[in-house]
Chain A
Amino acid sequence: MVTLLNTVEDKFAREACRAHGDQADELLEILHDVQHEKGHLSDSALRTIAQALNISRAEIHGVVSFYHDYKREPGAKLTLHICRAEACKAVGADTLITEAETLLDVKLDEGGAEVALAAAYCLGNCALGPAIMVNDKLYGRVDRAKINAITAKHMAQIS
C-alpha cells in the first residue's frame, strides 16, 4: 500500500509545474501555488514537483525547510499573522500578542485547529501599528477589540 501511494502523482502539483514551464528556477512560485491551493505541501506534492522539475527530493526539502512561508502540515482554518517587529513593539505589539493569545486561546507560533497566531516580522504597516495580516488582508492600529472583530469576520467567511 505504501509503495503504491509513493507513486501517486499529485495532479494539482503536476499542473502547477506545467504552468511554470517545468522550470526548476520557478520552484518557489510553484510551491507558493500549491500551498495556496492546498494549505500545505504534502509528501506527494513534493515528490511530484521533484520529478517534474528533475531535481532531487533532497534539494526540494532543502528549499522548503529554508523558507518560513512553507508549511509541511495542514494548518489552522484561519491564521492571524501578527507583527512583532520593532515599530509595532514601540506601540505595544508584545502586549497585544499576549492579549490575542488569551482571547483566541492559542500560543504564538504553536498552531491550533481553528485559529492560529503566527509571528510576522514587519508587514510594511509600521506607521499604523500594531499591524496584523489575515488571508492577505492587512489591518492597522489593531487592538484587542479589533482582533476579536477581525477573527469573527474571517471565520464567518469560511463557514
Chain B
Amino acid sequence: MSVKIYIPRDSAALSVGAYDVAEEIKAQGGNDVEIIATGSRGMLWLEPLVEVETDAGRVAYGPVQPEDVKSLFDAGFLNGGDHKLSHGLTEVIPYFAKQDRLTFARVGVIDRLSLADYEVHGGLKGLKKALSMPPESIVEEVLESGLRGRGGAGFPTGIKWKTAHAQTSEQKYICANADEGDSGTFADRMLMEGDPFSLIEGMIIGGRAIGAETGYVYIRSEYPHAIRVMRRAVKAMEDAGWLGQNIGGSDTHFDLHIRVGAGAYICGEESSMLESIEGKRGQVKVKPPIPAISGLFNKPTIVNNVLTLATVPFILSEGAKTYADYGQGRSRGTQPFQLAGDVAQGGLIEMAFGVTIDEIVNEFGGGTRSGRPVKAVQIGGPLGGYLTPGQFETSLGYESLAEAGGMIGHGGIVVYNDTTSMMKMARYAMEFCELESCGKCTPCRIGSVRGKETLDKIAAGEDVAANLDVLEDLCDLMEEASLCAMGGLTPMPVRTAMKAFPEEFTGPLEKAAE
C-alpha cells in the first residue's frame, strides 16, 4: 500500500515551488507514494505545505523545498516522522483549527478535480436537496440564511434571487463574478483552484431557484491556472450528468460557460461585466434597470460573487439556520478573510463575522513579516479605507466596519509597516482610478487625474492649505457624482489616509518622513 501525500496545486503554492517538490517526492518515493493534488489550506507562509496521511490524520510539513525531500524521507515522514519542518497534525495547527471553515471546508482537503472525493466530503448534497425543492423554497432558504454578497456591496443574496425569480421571462441567466480585481484578495482564486465543483453546484442551485438554464463564469485573465481548473471541472460535471439536460434525473437543465476577462478592473462591476460577456467594451451602465430585471442580453440575470455562490450548497445541505448561527447582527455567516502584505503569517482565514482586526492581524498574522511595527491596514481592496492599530478592536462585520469609516469589501486585509508613505498610497489610489476608470463619467475620469496632480502639489509643498481644500472638494464631487463605486469610493483610501496621518500631507515628503 502506498502512502497518500497531499500537495497543493494552487497557484500560490506553485509560485513558491510546489510542483518541483511533488516531482522530487515522486522521484524519491516511487511506488511507495501516491500524490494527490489539492487546493491550498490557506496557510500560505507555510507553502509548499506537504501533508502525509497517517492513522492519526494528516501530518503537515512546510515550507518544503526540493532539497528538503531527502531529509524528509530519512526522517520517516511517510509515517509522520519528526522533522524540523513538521507542524504535527494539520487540523490542530491553531491557525487552521480556530477557523470556521464552511465555504472553504473542502479546500486543501480533497483532490480538487475528483467528483468522487467531492461527494465523500459532502459535495452535491445541497444540490440533491435543492432538486427536490420547489424554486420558491430554495430562494426562501437563501433569504433566511442571511447570506449577503461577498463581492463587495454586501447586498442580501436572497432578495436579489427573489427579484429574478419573480420575472416571467423564458430566458434568464446566472453569472459568477470571478473577476477578483481587488488587490490583496485571492479567495475566489483559491476556491476555484481548490474546490471548483462547489461553485458549479451553487450556480446550478441558483439556476433552478430563479429559472435560469444558462450560466457564465467570468474569470479575470490574470488567473490562467484557475481558468484551466474551472474548464476541467465543467467538463467533469458534464460527463457525470451534473450539467446539461435533466440534471440528476430532474426537470432541471443547466449549461455553464467559462468566459475570460481581458485586464480591466472595472469589469468586476456587474453591469460592466455583463457588457464584457456580450463581447463589448466593459462600460458601466446606468441603473435602473437592475440586472435581476434586465441584465445579460437584456434578460433577467443574477450576478453573484464566487464566494457567495460557493456558500449556497452549504446553506442548502445544512440548513439556513446552521449558517445564520454564525456571525453578528446583520452580518450572518462567515467571511473568508485574506491576510496579505507585510505580515508574518499571511493566508486565508475563514471566520464568523465579529472577529476583530486585532485577532486577524496579530493573532493569526503574527504581526509583520519584516518585524517592523504595523502602521495601518487597508481593508476591502483598493477602494477600501485605511485603519490604524488604535482601531484594531473594531469587529469585522458590514455595519461595524462602516461605523469605523471602512468597508469589508471582498474581505482583503493588507498590512503596512511604519516605513509606508501614506501620501504615496493616497496618490496611488488616484492613479489606479485614472488607469481603470471606464471613462463614462467626468468626476471619475478627470477627477482622478486632478486628484493625483493635487497630491503631487501638496507633496511638493505648493500652496498646501489651498490644495488640501481642492482635494477635499474633489473627493466630495467624486463621492457624490460618480456613477459607480470606482469613482465613488476612490476617496475612501485617500481620506482615511489623510485623516489618520495628517502630518504626512503638509509638504515635501522628506520633511514629512522626519
Residues from 301 to 347 in B contacting A, C-beta threshold 8 Å: 338-343, 346-347
Contact A86 B184 (CB under 8 A): yes
0/1 interface trace, chain B 239-268, chain A, CB 8 Å (1 if under): 000000000000000000001111111000
0/1 interface trace, chain A 74-104, chain B, CB 8 Å (1 if under): 0000000000011111110000000000000
B residues less than 8 Å from A126 (CB atoms): 183-186, 338, 340-341, 346, 412, 414
B residues less than 8 Å from A125 (CB atoms): 11-12, 15, 186
Return A88 CB to nearest CB of chain B, in Å: 8
Return A63 CB to nearest CB of chain B, in Å: 6
**Residue among B186, B189, B222 with the highest chain A CB neighbour number at 10 A:** B222
How many residue-residue contacts, CB under 8 A, span A and B? 146
CA distance A31 to B425 in the complex (A): 34
CA distance A139 to B225 in the complex (A): 13
B residues less than 8 Å from A69 (CB atoms): 221, 261-263
Q: Tell me whether A86 and B15 are in contact in the complex, defined as CB-CB below 8 angstroms, given that A67-B262, A127-B338, A129-B341 are known contacts.
A: no
CA distance A139 to B369 in the complex (A): 18
Option from B189, B280, B417, B432 in Cβ contact (under 8 Å) with A121: B432
Contact A138 B14 (CB under 8 A): yes
CA distance A23 to B57 in the complex (A): 51
0/1 interface trace, chain B 261-295, chain A, CB 8 Å (1 if under): 11111000000000011111111000000000000
**Residue among A32, A123, A131 with the highest chain B CB neighbour number at 10 A:** A123
Q: Tell me whether A141 and B16 are in contact in the complex, defined as CB-CB below 8 angstroms, given that A28-B260, A126-B340, A128-B44 are known contacts.
A: yes
Among residues of A, the one whose C-beta sits closest to the C-beta of B416 is A90
Q: Tell me whether A86 and B281 are in contact in the complex, defined as CB-CB below 8 angstroms, given that A121-B432, A124-B11 are known contacts.
A: no
0/1 interface trace, chain A 113-155, chain B, CB 8 Å (1 if under): 0000000111111111101010011111100000000000000
A residues less than 8 Å from B186 (CB atoms): 124-127
A24 near B: Cβ within 8 Å? Answer: yes
Contact B184 A85 (CB under 8 A): yes
CA distance A136 to B228 in the complex (A): 11
Q: Tell me whether A68 and B378 are in contact in the complex, defined as CB-CB below 8 angstroms, given that A90-B414, A126-B183 are known contacts.
A: no
How many residues belonging to A are interface residues under a CB distance threshold of 8 Å?
41
0/1 interface trace, chain A 12-41, chain B, CB 8 Å (1 if under): 000000000001111111011000000000
Q: Tell me whether A29 and B259 are in contact in the complex, defined as CB-CB below 8 angstroms, given that A87-B340, A87-B414, A121-B265 are known contacts.
A: yes
Among residues of B, the one whose C-beta sits closest to the C-beta of A62 is B281
CA distance A76 to B497 in the complex (A): 38
B434 near A: Cβ within 8 Å? Answer: no
Contact B338 A31 (CB under 8 A): no
Contact B15 A122 (CB under 8 A): no
A residues less than 8 Å from B222 (CB atoms): 120, 122-124, 133
Contact A63 B279 (CB under 8 A): yes
Return B346 CB to nearest CB of chain A, in Å: 3
Contact A86 B382 (CB under 8 A): yes
Contact A32 B12 (CB under 8 A): no
CA distance A31 to B369 in the complex (A): 41
B73 near A: Cβ within 8 Å? Answer: no
B224 near A: Cβ within 8 Å? Answer: yes
B residues less than 8 Å from A136 (CB atoms): 224-225
Contact B180 A124 (CB under 8 A): yes
Return A139 CB to nearest CB of chain B, in Å: 5
Option from B16, B180, B261, B432 in Cβ contact (under 8 Å) with A140: B16
A residues less than 8 Å from B182 (CB atoms): 122
Q: Tell me whether A70 and B262 are in contact in the complex, defined as CB-CB below 8 angstroms, given that A91-B342, A126-B341 are known contacts.
A: yes
CA distance A69 to B223 in the complex (A): 13
Q: Tell me whether A28 and B180 are in contact in the complex, defined as CB-CB below 8 angstroms, given that A63-B281, A127-B44 are known contacts.
A: no
B484 near A: Cβ within 8 Å? Answer: no
Contact B341 A85 (CB under 8 A): no
Option from B263, B369, B420 in Cβ contact (under 8 Å) with A68: B263
CA distance A8 to B82 in the complex (A): 68
**Residue among B189, B340, B435 with the highest chain A CB neighbour number at 10 A:** B340
Q: Tell me whether A127 and B12 are in contact in the complex, defined as CB-CB below 8 angstroms, given that A29-B259, A87-B341 are known contacts.
A: yes
B45 near A: Cβ within 8 Å? Answer: yes
CA distance A128 to B62 in the complex (A): 14
Among residues of A, the one whose C-beta sits closest to the C-beta of B223 is A124
B428 near A: Cβ within 8 Å? Answer: yes
- Nearest 6 pairs of A and B residues by beta carbon: A127-B346, A85-B183, A90-B341, A27-B279, A67-B262, A126-B340
A sample of 9 cross-chain residue pairs with beta-carbon separation below 8 angstroms, ordered by A number, consists of: A86-B382, A90-B341, A91-B341, A122-B181, A126-B185, A127-B339, A129-B341, A138-B11, A140-B12
Instruction: List chain B positions with a Cβ less than 8 A from chain A.
Output: 11-12, 14-16, 44-45, 47, 180-186, 189, 221-225, 259-265, 276-283, 297, 338-343, 346-347, 369-370, 378, 382, 412, 414-417, 420, 425, 428, 432, 435-436
A87-B414, A91-B342, A124-B185 given; 7 more Cβ-contact pairs under 8 Å: A67-B261, A86-B378, A121-B265, A128-B16, A128-B346, A138-B11, A141-B16
Instruction: List chain A positions with a Cβ less than 8 A from chain B.
Output: 23-29, 31-32, 62-63, 66-70, 85-91, 120-129, 131, 133, 136-141
